């Protein structure tokens, strides 16, 4: 018996593989003269000229590999969800979908089968004795006792689920002209284009990953007494008690905490921070965190600067509340204007509350799908055609005055254990 779970599955992460694109520009060894603009006051700019020494000076070039590598390094700073992913590799020539079996524990409500026989020889309804029940009487009624003569008693069965993910192709491009590269007032125009394009691809990938995980969370909880996103109001801003309840639900689901521990120090005003669950949150919740009180009325939020001897922090980690290490993602999607009618002093859109998802990620809960890559870094395929003979054609641009830059990549995500993903919704004060 099998069940099936799929996320939204918009696409894939992978390894950076930038081909080196040689430039058409060359070198000159003789002195050359360049224009320098000097502020001439109200009348504008007055041209001035200076001579640049000889000896191997390089003319302006499109250093594609350097620019792209630099952009990728900067873009990795905006990686928040990807840092917690495991990787499942998709072999070539096997299609765009990967499937994996997940075996459920014997004593679990999800292990439903028709193989069970109890200690009296009668059929066990679900084939798993007592499932996830913790009720004493229920457990005692179905104990797998064995009689003196043995017999075909206490037979059980097992169930496995199927998890799957699909790779999607994503990409975009921009164009630039020969005149832009030659005459624009910014000599690093192309580098800025490249930086923003690579960062944009990273943000798209992170946004899709966040949406997939939010929509796939097996544990969903709303702040206060709300029961859905559209009922979220001023009473739905999370409290310390809400986090305690969520923590208990995570323990019930046997979601492991991170094992990395920050040790204390002799420094004044430091705190020892134990391992906990990682919670990724959107920006806009700082007031909620920093004003939150624990059950004894003490400040609940511990910022990272008050950690003991700081070890490696997760990218975006800003502090800790209770059992949760808080990671702020400034690009994380929210439900803008999807709550109840807004109240003064709270974040809203179109006069309705903004609803903020707070996502807890347990170990080995989801995986990116690697295809001829490691799946942990972004395998961008970048194509650059500079203005000139490479782009000249009789139908579009006989003169070759326009070039282009394109980026494409594969994205795929597979939720392996939705019960290890939790989403706590909250509203927020301005």
Q: Please give the average per-residue pLDDT across 154-182, as a whole number.
A: 85
Helices 64-75 and 189-216, packing angle to 10 deg: 40
The region, left, alpha or beta by phi > 0 then psi within -120 to 50, assigned to residue 82 is: alpha
Asked if 243 and 133 sit in the same domain, the reply is no
**pLDDT band at residue 329 using 50, 70 and 90 as cut-offs:** very high
Confidence at residue 296, expressed as pLDDT on a 0 to 100 scale: 93
Confidence at residue 221, expressed as pLDDT on a 0 to 100 scale: 97
The torsion angles phi and psi of 113, rounded to 5 degrees, stand at -150, 170
Distance CA 386, CA 178 (A): 8
Distance CA 158, CA 427 (A): 42
Asked if 187 and 236 sit in the same domain, the reply is yes
Burial class (CB in 10 A: 0-12, 13-18, 19+), 253: middle
Q: Model confidence over 19-36: pLDDT tens digits?
A: 333 333 333 333 333 333
Distance CA 183, CA 240 (A): 58
CATH number of the domain where residue 246 is located = 3.90.1690
Alpha helix positions (H), 185-291:
189-216, 240-252, 286-290
Asked if 147 and 36 sit in the same domain, the reply is no
pLDDT at 49 over 60: no
Q: Could you tell me the residue range of the domain that residue 44 belongs to?
A: 32-59
Q: Which residues pair with 359 in a beta bridge?
A: 280, 423
Asked if 170 and 46 sit in the same domain, the reply is no
Asked if 135 and 81 sit in the same domain, the reply is no
Asked if 294 and 361 sit in the same domain, the reply is yes
Asked if 152 and 284 sit in the same domain, the reply is no
**pLDDT band at residue 309 using 50, 70 and 90 as cut-offs:** low
Asked if 229 and 142 sit in the same domain, the reply is no
Asked if 403 and 284 sit in the same domain, the reply is yes
Strand 324-329, strand 348-349: pairing = unpaired
Q: Model confidence over 133-157: pLDDT tens digits?
A: 889 998 888 888 888 777 888 888 8
Q: How many domains does the chain have?
A: 3
Instruction: Give the Å distances, CA to CA, from 159 to 3, 113, 285.
Output: 9, 6, 41
Distance CA 37, CA 47 (A): 5
Asked if 191 and 117 sit in the same domain, the reply is no
**pLDDT band at residue 377 using 50, 70 and 90 as cut-offs:** low
**pLDDT band at residue 63 using 50, 70 and 90 as cut-offs:** low
Asked if 9 and 148 sit in the same domain, the reply is no
**Tokens at residue 184, please?**
């624009």
Q: Please give the average per-residue pLDDT across 285-303, as a whole number.
A: 93
**pLDDT band at residue 188 using 50, 70 and 90 as cut-offs:** confident
Of 19-28, 144-153, 173-182, 296-305, highest mean pLDDT = 296-305
21-25, 198-202, 253-257, 285-289: least confident range? 21-25
Domain boundary residue, one of 157, 172, 191: 157
Q: Please give the average per-residue pLDDT across 287-300, as a whole number.
A: 94
Domain boundary residue, one of 117, 140, 157: 157
How many other C-beta atoms are found inside a 10 Å radius of the C-beta of residue 145? 10
**pLDDT band at residue 89 using 50, 70 and 90 as cut-offs:** low
Domain boundary residue, one of 118, 137, 157: 157
Asked if 164 and 191 sit in the same domain, the reply is yes
The three state secondary structure string of 37-58 is EEECHHHCEEEEEEEECCCCEE
């Amino acid at each position: 018996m099998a069940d099936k779970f799929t996320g939204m599955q918009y696409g894939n992460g992978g390894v950076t593989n930038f081909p080196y694109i040689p430039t058409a520009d060359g070198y000159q060894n003789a002195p050359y003269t360049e224009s320098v603009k000097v502020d001439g006051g109200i009348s504008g700019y007055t041209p001035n000229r200076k001579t640049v020494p000889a000896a191997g000076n390089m003319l302006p070039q499109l250093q594609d590999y350097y620019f792209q590598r630099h952009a990728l390094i900067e873009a990795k700073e905006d990686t928040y969800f990807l840092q917690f992913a495991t990787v499942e590799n998709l072999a070539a020539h096997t299609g765009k979908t990967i499937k994996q079996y997940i075996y459920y524990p014997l004593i679990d409500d999800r292990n439903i089968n028709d193989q069970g026989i109890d200690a009296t020889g009668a059929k066990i309804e679900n084939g798993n004795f007592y499932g996830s029940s913790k009720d004493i009487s229920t457990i005692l009624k179905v104990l797998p006792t064995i009689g003196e003569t043995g017999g075909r008693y206490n037979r059980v069965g097992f169930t496995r689920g199927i998890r799957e993910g699909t790779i999607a192709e994503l990409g975009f491009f921009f164009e630039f002209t020969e005149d832009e590269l030659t005459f624009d007032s910014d000599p690093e125009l192309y580098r800025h284009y490249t930086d923003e394009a690579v960062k944009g691809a990273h943000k798209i990938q992170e946004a899709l990953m966040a949406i997939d995980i939010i929509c796939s969370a097996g544990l969903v909880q709303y702040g206060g007494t709300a029961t859905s996103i559209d009922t979220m109001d001023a009473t739905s801003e999370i409290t310390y008690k809400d986090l305690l309840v969520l923590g208990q639900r995570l323990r019930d689901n046997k979601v492991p905490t991170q094992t990395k521990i920050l040790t204390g120090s002799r420094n004044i005003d430091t705190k020892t921070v134990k391992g906990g669950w990682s919670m990724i949150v959107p920006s806009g919740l700082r007031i909620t965190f920093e004003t939150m009180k624990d059950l004894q009325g003490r400040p609940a939020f511990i910022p990272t600067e008050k950690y003991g001897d700081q070890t490696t922090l997760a990218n975006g980690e800003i502090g800790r509340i209770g059992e949760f290490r808080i990671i702020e993602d400034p690009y994380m999607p929210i439900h803008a204007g999807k709550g109840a009618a807004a109240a003064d002093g709270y974040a809203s859109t179109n006069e309705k509350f903004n609803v903020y998802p707070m996502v807890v990620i347990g170990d080995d809960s989801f995986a990116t799908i690697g295809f001829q890559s490691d799946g942990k870094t972004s395998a961008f395929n970048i194509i650059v055609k500079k203005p000139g003979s490479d782009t000249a054609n009789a139908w579009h641009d006989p003169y070759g005055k326009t070039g282009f830059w394109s980026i494409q990549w594969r994205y795929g995500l597979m939720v392996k254990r939705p019960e290890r993903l939790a989403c706590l919704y909250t509203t927020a004060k301005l």
